[in-house]
Structures are given as structure tokens and as C-alpha cells.
Amino acid sequence: MMKSIGIIGAGVAGLHLGLQLRQHGIATTIYTNRTPEEVADGRVMNSVAHMHVTLELEEDLGINHWTEDQYYYTHHYHYNGWGDQRTYQGSFAAPSRTLDYRIYLPRLMEDFTDRGGVIEYRDLGVADIQNLSEIHDLVVVSTGKGEIGAMFPKRADKSPYDRPQRKLAVGFWKGVERCDPNGVAVSVIPGVGELLAIPMWSFSGDVMALLFESVPGGPQEALTDQRYADDPEAYRRLTLNMLRDYHPTVFDRVDHDEFRLQSDKDILQGAFTPVMREDYARLPNGRFLLALGDVHLTMDPVQAQGANSTAYSARVVGDAIVEDDVFDERFMKKVASRRSERLEAANDWINTIIHTPTPPQIPALFSAMVDNQALVDEFTENFNHPIRQIDLLASEERVEAAVNRASA
Amino acid sequence: MMKSIGIIGAGVAGLHLGLQLRQHGIATTIYTNRTPEEVADGRVMNSVAHMHVTLELEEDLGINHWTEDQYYYTHHYHYNGWGDQRTYQGSFAAPSRTLDYRIYLPRLMEDFTDRGGVIEYRDLGVADIQNLSEIHDLVVVSTGKGEIGAMFPKRADKSPYDRPQRKLAVGFWKGVERCDPNGVAVSVIPGVGELLAIPMWSFSGDVMALLFESVPGGPQEALTDQRYADDPEAYRRLTLNMLRDYHPTVFDRVDHDEFRLQSDKDILQGAFTPVMREDYARLPNGRFLLALGDVHLTMDPVQAQGANSTAYSARVVGDAIVEDDVFDERFMKKVASRRSERLEAANDWINTIIHTPTPPQIPALFSAMVDNQALVDEFTENFNHPIRQIDLLASEERVEAAVNRASA
């Protein structure tokens, strides 16, 4: 049987899935409205880190083209904005990788077409997707806002928020020194929000992605509300002031003469409401669409789980497509069942972290990690293992058990 | 942290779980009301076959004491009660094992106590279980009819029947020749039911478990309704007549002089309604009970999935207990999520097979297997893989796809 799969979207979801399907010789078309050149020339999309579980998936796909040390980091450098001792660090069992998606995605698009995948450049609406469902045996929707996303109903049980919990701003800055060993700074300030300082590799080489996660109404939200393009120098000064006032361990690494963006496209400001949607939708013609990636699950980036969850989900979907020939409701439910535990764990973890007011076990955990190396290493490594992470931090009782276990 | 686990029931569910927990040094008490001697001296319990996926679990547990060839079989010998060509056979990738549970379970009880497990011999009611929930960190309920089973609500979505779909009778008979290679006869007669002739090892050595699965109201149900103990010789003659009339490939292997039970305890007659229950229950004291084995899922034995599903489920539960320290609702949901796909697949598969009227894809599949060796081998091997089996036979479209794939 010759299967034919259509994928809407050429992000990490669509490309990982498409590349896996091509490894199995399955006819696959990806639909997107941006060429590799447009992606490379566009605005920064995120500050994604790929944990080692994701790198293993990429090894399987044969797409880890970035093996030099400069792409990798091994540590989390924590700063708590309270208490006497505020700094501590955790380490990963194996390195994580960061790379500007404007480099990453175009290369994967090239890999995909090199392997016989077809990319069609089109704008698509709901009617187009219905037409595609009759051309392909299965259509997977991995991107699409507005009416396309709305085809998959929001899951009330896993979507606790009706508004953004953080205002976001991420810029790729020159002039912030890397830590040694290389690592991400995790700075947590009650009432203000978080800063993640992520060593990133971009067109200009070494940059620092400063991802400000700002509590709405708090003092840091100006970094989202004040538009960079309106006055780059004012925004630069505002950023320095925020670092000085709230994030001293990162501020101390700034070279003020060098501190700047390389391009107006190196910053992204905005906010969104986290949402988990149903796994699939039935079209009026009786065919099913499968949701993947952002269309299925959109999480706040505060713990770097978006791309890692998506890559995992793409693998589950790819394995199911390879093993099955019938893309009926049973197939949809099978995919939903297989990916639910891990995706829901990541979703619950992130939604616990960003909740206002902060659930009591979160500061308890961060306070306990200050002088408990086993615990902070476990928390760090669990960025690979969202199920273990939500097991660790879902409740006060669970944090207490984790502290006791790590102390033993 | 010292965990303490209580397990209600010393069947395959409770013993597999208890043995795994003892491998990890976890304090475990099994509660049962039957000593090993009483089990060994009791009535035949079932005609269970352990598929090779289950044998692998037993290897992990260090409990495969039965390695000689006499315990193993490799084939299914099919007979369809329709069509021109009626006989065909499928083979497993690796052998399955059969053994009288009156030998198997007492040996596992011995293993469990040898490894430091505690067995308490008691009758338990609901109030006792609530008390145990305050002594142990977790109580797992793996057996219990009536009010204990009823603590776990029936799942309407996975329990389609309100009465038995087959009347059952299984006896361990002398005088039925084994096939060569050794295997199970699967005889399917529309309107009558099924016979599975399972080569079994019992106290007297080689016996044949004849498991009659009779459609209620059909001609075979007398084997359930006519009590063996009332007139053993009449029952023996009735059995021979049923074999002669409906199951010729088994009848041809009968030595009439030798055909008899060894003991009045070598036969079990009855019927039950298949049911899938909720994974867990919350007690009035706020503690949770986890369901395992028959309390969780009771399936008709027509495709030998009960013990294999239970052993799998015990492993999932054991792994979760080993990895976690908090037995809250999150723990319960985690177990439910992990075991749902495979257990629901087995449940759906069996409930499809025993449905009246027979869904059209079932005779279509059995007719197609007559001259499609790849298909019958796939169907046979899938006794290890219920997810693949329900993928194969859930609908007419899926059977058609499987036939096409196996023909390619």
C-alpha cells in the first residue's frame, strides 16, 4: 500500500515528522507559506534548546549536523531572588543544544527535499485543508492560527488560563559572557518573573538569548510593552536596567560596550495564552485531521519544553503512521493515548510554574535546591523527562518527598 | 524512604507485582484467603496460556521454573465451521507456555515468601481494606467479587455487555492427542461458539484443556448447563458428541478409551459478564486504592488475553511504584494512562470477537486466513500484541487493509 501523507507547517513538528516518513519511503508533502530563504531572513522565532532526549531523536533522523562544542551546554546556573544563599547550579547527564531556528529549520527543509519530500509553498485556509484531506490518506496539521487552530477544540481540563501568564521578550544579544562550563542562567524573582539567559548560536556566532518572562502588571513587563523598534537605544538601556535591578548574576556578565542586538530582527516581543487542544478533528467529509505541535499544545517557554515536546510528539505520530495503514478514528485515538502522558506532564509542569499566585511547592523546591545538589541535578536533568518533573513538583507532598529522597 | 505496599489477592496479578516489588526491596504484604496447599488442592481455575511477551516478564522476575519442552507450544491449528477449505495453521515467533495454575501459583507464593514477602491469610471486606489503606502507603486490589469489585465503578465506555456473551466449560482431559508441533486448536462454529483445545501440563502430566465457549441459546451451551458432578459419564458422552458434531479436528484426536478427567476438580463451568472498571477508587479516608487484574478488567477467555494482560498491567504498576514515592491521585492517573492503550486494545479485541451478531469483519478475517499464511501468522503472533490485533480487526476497513498488506 502506498501511503500519502500531507503535513501543514514546516516547523520542527512538520519537518521532524516529514523526515521520519521519508526514512520509511512514505510519500510526504509539507505545505508552508515560507521558503527556506524567507525563514532565514525572518525575525527570530524563539530561543529553543534541544535537550538530549531530542538530540537522540535527531540522531535517529540523521539530522544532527551541529556537533561542535559551541552548540552545546551542560549546566543550569540558578539565581533565586530571595534568601541568604541565592546561587546554585545543576548539571545535565548529557549536553543540550541551542541553535537559531533560522539556521536550523532551513537546513531541515533542505534535508527533507533531498530525501524526496515535497514542499508546496501555499497559503492555506480551512477549505484548502478539507481538499487536502481527500488527496492524502492523512493530513497532519502542525501550524495555523485563527480558524485553523480553532478546528481543534480547546481542552478545558488541560487549559487552565484564559489569558497570558507571562509577557515575553526574547532578544539575541552580543556582549553577554558565557558561563564556564557553558549553561543557561535561570533567574527567578517573585512578583517580577523569570529571566532565562540561553547561550545561543546565530548567524553572527555566539550570542546570548535573553528570554524575559514577565508577570503581567509587574515591573518587568515594560520589556514586552515597550517596542524595541520604536527606540532601540532606549530599549537597550531598559534591558540593562532590568538586568541590574533583578538579575545580578547575568548583569555581572554584561560587557556594556558590546551589549547590543545585531539586527532589528533579533528580537521578538509578545504574549500568548497557553492552550492544549484536542488531538484530532473530524471534517464534514468524514475524514480526520491530526493535530501536532503548536496547534495541539502551546506552552509558555519558561522551561524550554515546547520544541522538545513537539519533537517527541512528531516521533509518536511518525511511528504510528509507519505501523498503520488506516487513518480512522482508532488511529487518532491511538496517537492521543500514546502521547498523552508525556505531553500532559509537560503542560501541567509549565502551567504549575507560571501560575499566579505561585503554588507554594515551587518556592519550596527552589529554596531546597540551594543546598541540595542531588535535587537540583534531578530538577535539571528532568528537563528531558517531563513526567518525572511533574512527579517531582505537582504538589507540596511531592516536593517534600523529592527533597527527602534527594537528601537520603 | 521505606515504602510499604499491600496487595489484596494472590493470583497472577498480586504475585507478579509482589515479586517485582521484592526485587526492589520494597516491603510487601499479600492478603489472600487460600494457602498454597489449598490452591493446589482446589478446582481448576482456568486454562491460561502465557504468551512469550509474558514469559519475558517472568524471566525478568526470575520465576520461569518451567523450561522443558513439554510446557511449550508454537502453533494455532484453526478450523472454520464454514467454507470449502476449513483448516489452516499459524505459528508464533516464539513459544507460549501452558501450566495448571494449581501448580503455578503455589510455586510463586513460595518464591514470594522466599524473597522476604509476607503473606497474610485472611478474609477481607471493604472495611478491612480501608484499615489496610492506613497501614500501607499503597493498597492494590487484585481480586475480590461483590462489594470489593464494586468499589471500582464499571466503565460504561469499555463494558458493552450486561450479560455473558459465552457460556464456559473447561475440563482437563486425558486421551486427546497433542498436535505435532504442539499447539492450540481454535475451532470456530457460527451460531455455536468456539472450542479451544489447549495442551496443558497438570499434576498428572500431559492433559488437554478443552475450553468450550458456547453462544447462549446455541446447541453447545449444554456443556455449561449440565453439571459434570451430577453425572460424570453422561457429561463425558455429551462432550464427545459435541466434539463429533462441531469440532471434527479435535474429535479425530480423541482416544475414546482414555478420554476422561483425572478428578472431579478438573472441570470448571460457568459464565460471567466481561467488564472493565475504573483504574482506582478514593476511599472515605482520602486514600486511593488501585485496581489490578480481574478487579480492573475481566475478559472472556476466548483469545487467552486475561493473564497476559494482567501480567503486563502488574509490570506497569510495579514500575510506577518503584519510581514514585507518593501514591496520590496523580500516581493513579499515571498508572491508568500507561496501561490504558494495551488493556483497552485487548478488551476491544475480545469484545469484538464475542459480539452477537458477529461483526462482519471477523468471518471475513477467518475466511481470508485460510489461504493467506502471512495473515494467519500475523493474527497468531498478535496474541502477544493486542494493540496490533485490534489494529488488524477493529473494522471491515482494517481487515481489508491487513489482508492486502499480508498479500503484498
Hey, what's the torsion of the CAs at A280, A285, A287, A291, to 10 degrees? -30
Same domain, B294 and B191: no
Same domain, A8 and A155: yes
Q: Which residues of B touch A323 (CB under 8 A)?
A: 388, 391
| Interface test mutation site (partner B, options A326, A331, A375, max chain B beta carbons within 10 A) | A326
pLDDT (0 to 100) of residue A408: 87
> What CA–CA distances, in Å, run from B37 to A99, B11, B41, B102, B277?
66, 14, 6, 9, 31
**B392 is in which domain, residue-wise?**
360-407
CB nearest to B338's CB, from A1, A341, A398: A341
Q: Does position A321 have pLDDT exceeding 90, yes or no? A: yes
pLDDT (0 to 100) of residue B2: 85
Using an 8 Å Cβ cutoff, are B327 and B138 in contact? yes
Compare all CA atoms of chain B with the CA of A399 and give the residue at the minimum distance: B326
> What CA–CA distances, in Å, run from B141 to A127, A137, B149, B324, B401?
52, 44, 9, 18, 40
Assigned domain for A153 exists: yes
Peptide bond into A181 cis (omega under 30): yes
SS (H, E, C) A47-116: CCEECHHHHHHHHHHCCCCCCCHHHEEEEEEEEECCCCCCEEEEEEEEEEEECCHHHHHHHHHHHHHHCC
Cell for B303? Answer: 483469545
Assigned domain for A87 exists: no
For the residues A247-276, what does the mean pLDDT come to? 97
pLDDT (0 to 100) of residue A1: 56
Share of chain A above pLDDT 70, in %: 100
For the residues B352-378, what does the mean pLDDT come to? 97
- Do the bridges between strand B27-32 and strand B4-8 make them parallel or antiparallel, or are there none, so unpaired? parallel
Last residue of a domain, one of B219, B249, B272: B272
For the residues A295-319, what does the mean pLDDT come to? 97
Same domain, B301 and B391: no
Same domain, A179 and A207: yes
Indicate the residue type of A199: P
- Do the bridges between strand B4-8 and strand B138-141 make them parallel or antiparallel, or are there none, so unpaired? parallel
Residue-wise pLDDT for B293-309, tens only, equals: 999 999 999 999 999 99
Grid cell 494482567 in the structure block, residue: B310
Closest-CA distance of chain A to residue B325, Å: 7
Same domain, A137 and A33: yes
Residues 6+ apart with CB under 8 A from B301: B46, B47, B48, B168, B170, B196, B211, B213
pLDDT (0 to 100) of residue A383: 98
CB nearest to B334's CB, from A330, A341, A397: A341
Q: What is the DSSP string of B161-173?
A: -SS-SSEEEEEEE
Assigned domain for A265 exists: yes
Q: Does position B247 have pLDDT exceeding 90, yes or no? A: yes
For the residues B284-291, what does the mean pLDDT come to? 96
Assigned domain for A171 exists: yes
SS3 state at B325: coil
CA distance B51 to B309: 10
Q: Which residues of A touch B287 (CB under 8 A)?
A: none
Compare all CA atoms of chain A with the CA of B387 and give the residue at the minimum distance: A334
Q: Which residues of A touch B338 (CB under 8 A)?
A: 341
pLDDT (0 to 100) of residue A56: 98
For the residues B37-49, what does the mean pLDDT come to? 97
Compare all CA atoms of chain A with the CA of B407 and give the residue at the minimum distance: A1
| Interface touch A395/B340, C-beta < 8 Å | no
pLDDT (0 to 100) of residue B144: 75
| Interface touch B325/A408, C-beta < 8 Å | no
Closest-CA distance of chain B to residue A156, Å: 17
| Interface touch B341/A334, C-beta < 8 Å | yes
For the residues B270-290, what does the mean pLDDT come to? 97
CA distance B398 to A403: 50
For the residues A93-121, what does the mean pLDDT come to? 98
Residue-wise pLDDT for A3-41, tens only, equals: 999 999 999 999 999 999 999 999 999 999 999 999 999
| Interface touch B337/A340, C-beta < 8 Å | yes
pLDDT (0 to 100) of residue A87: 98
Ramachandran angles phi, psi of B144, nearest 5°: 135, 120
pLDDT (0 to 100) of residue A144: 76
Q: Which residues of A touch B340 (CB under 8 A)?
A: 337
CB nearest to A338's CB, from B324, B341, B344: B341
Same domain, A338 and A289: yes
Compare all CA atoms of chain B with the CA of A397 and give the residue at the minimum distance: B326
Q: Does position A217 have pLDDT exceeding 90, yes or no? A: yes
Last residue of a domain, one of B226, B249, B272: B272
Last residue of a domain, one of B255, B272, B289: B272
Residue-wise pLDDT for B131-144, tens only, equals: 999 999 999 999 87
CB nearest to A325's CB, from B324, B337, B405: B405
Q: Which residues of A touch B341 (CB under 8 A)?
A: 334, 337-338
Mean pLDDT (chain A) is 97
Q: Which residues of A touch B405 (CB under 8 A)?
A: 1, 325
Q: Does position B211 have pLDDT exceeding 90, yes or no? A: yes
Q: Which residues of B touch A338 (CB under 8 A)?
A: 341
Closest-CA distance of chain B to residue A401, Å: 7
Same domain, B302 and B376: no
Same domain, A256 and A294: no
Size of interface A-B (CB pairs under 8 A): 63
For the residues A138-142, what does the mean pLDDT come to? 97
pLDDT (0 to 100) of residue A59: 98
Assigned domain for B54 exists: no
Q: Does position B334 have pLDDT exceeding 80, yes or no? A: yes
Assigned domain for A260 exists: yes
pLDDT (0 to 100) of residue A335: 98
pLDDT confidence band for A145 (50 / 70 / 90): confident
User: Environment class of residue B211 by beta-carbon count within 10 Å: exposed (0-12), middle (13-18) or buried (19+)?
Assistant: buried
Residue-wise pLDDT for A343-370, tens only, equals: 999 999 999 999 999 999 999 999 999 9
CB nearest to A328's CB, from B1, B397, B408: B397
Same domain, B34 and B124: yes
Closest-CA distance of chain B to residue A392, Å: 9
| Interface touch A341/B341, C-beta < 8 Å | no
Among chain B, residues having any CB pair with chain A shorter than 8 Å are: 1, 323-326, 328, 330, 334, 337-338, 340-341, 344, 387-388, 390-391, 394-395, 397-398, 401-402, 404-405, 408
Same domain, A311 and A210: no
| Interface touch B330/A390, C-beta < 8 Å | yes
pLDDT (0 to 100) of residue B1: 56
* Whole-structure pTM value: 0.95
Same domain, B157 and B44: yes
Same domain, B41 and B123: yes
Q: Does position B390 have pLDDT exceeding 80, yes or no? A: yes
Q: Which residues of A touch B324 (CB under 8 A)?
A: 391
Closest-CA distance of chain B to residue A45, Å: 33
For the residues A176-188, what does the mean pLDDT come to? 98
Closest-CA distance of chain A to residue B110, Å: 32
| Interface touch A395/B330, C-beta < 8 Å | yes
Q: Which residues of A touch B394 (CB under 8 A)?
A: 330
Closest-CA distance of chain A to residue B146, Å: 31
Assigned domain for A316 exists: yes
Compare all CA atoms of chain B with the CA of A336 and give the residue at the minimum distance: B341
Assigned domain for A60 exists: no
Residue-wise pLDDT for A187-203, tens only, equals: 999 999 999 999 999 99
pLDDT (0 to 100) of residue B237: 98
- Number of compact structural domains in chain B: 3
> CA B15, B16, B17, B18 torsion: positive or negative?
positive
pLDDT (0 to 100) of residue A2: 85
Closest-CA distance of chain B to residue A43, Å: 39
| Interface test mutation site (partner A, options B137, B157, B316, B337, max chain A beta carbons within 10 A) | B337
Q: Which residues of B touch A137 (CB under 8 A)?
A: none
Q: Which residues of B touch A328 (CB under 8 A)?
A: 395, 397-398
Q: What is the CATH number of the domain that holds B211?
A: 3.30.9.40
| Interface touch B391/A340, C-beta < 8 Å | no
